[in-house]
A and B are shown apart, each in its own frame.
Chain A
Amino acid sequence: DGGITQSPKYLFRKEGQNVTLSCEQNLNHDAMYWYRQDPGQGLRLIYYSQIVNDFQKGDIAEGYSVSREKKESFPLTVTSAQKNPTAFYLCASRGARSDNEQFFGPGTRLTVL
Chain B
Amino acid sequence: AQSVSQHNHHVILSEAASLELGCNYSYGGTVNLFWYVQYPGQHLQLLLKYFSGDPLVKGIKGFEAEFIKSKFSFNLRKPSVQWSDTAEYFCAVKGQAGTALIFGKGTTLSVSS
Give the interface of A toward B (CB within 8 A): 31, 33, 35, 40-45, 48, 50, 56, 58, 90, 92, 94, 98-99, 101-107
B96: min CB distance to chain A, Å: 12
- Are the C-beta atoms of B90 and A45 separated by less than 8 Å? no
- Are the C-beta atoms of A42 and B34 separated by less than 8 Å? no
- Are the C-beta atoms of B99 and A31 separated by less than 8 Å? yes
User: Closest 3 CB pairs between A and B?
Assistant: A42-B105, A104-B44, A43-B103
Question: What CA separation (Å) do A33 and B95 show in the bound complex?
Answer: 13
Question: What are the residues of chain B within 8 A of A42 when measuring CB–CB?
Answer: 4, 6, 90, 103-106
Counting CB contacts under 8 A, is B60 at the interface? Answer: no
- Contact flag A41-B45 (CB < 8 Å), given A48-B99, A56-B98, A101-B34: no
- Contact flag A56-B97 (CB < 8 Å), given A42-B106, A104-B45: yes
Show 6 A/B contacts (Cβ-Cβ < 8 Å), sorted by A: A33-B100, A35-B103, A42-B6, A103-B46, A104-B43, A105-B43
- Contact flag A40-B9 (CB < 8 Å), given A99-B51, A104-B43, A106-B43: yes
Give the interface of B toward A (CB within 8 A): 4, 6, 9, 32, 34, 36, 43-46, 49, 51, 90, 92, 95, 97-106
B106: min CB distance to chain A, Å: 5
- Are the C-beta atoms of A45 and B46 separated by less than 8 Å? no
Chain B residue, CB-CB nearest to A3: B43
- Contact flag A94-B105 (CB < 8 Å), given A43-B90, A104-B43, A106-B43: no
A60: min CB distance to chain B, Å: 12
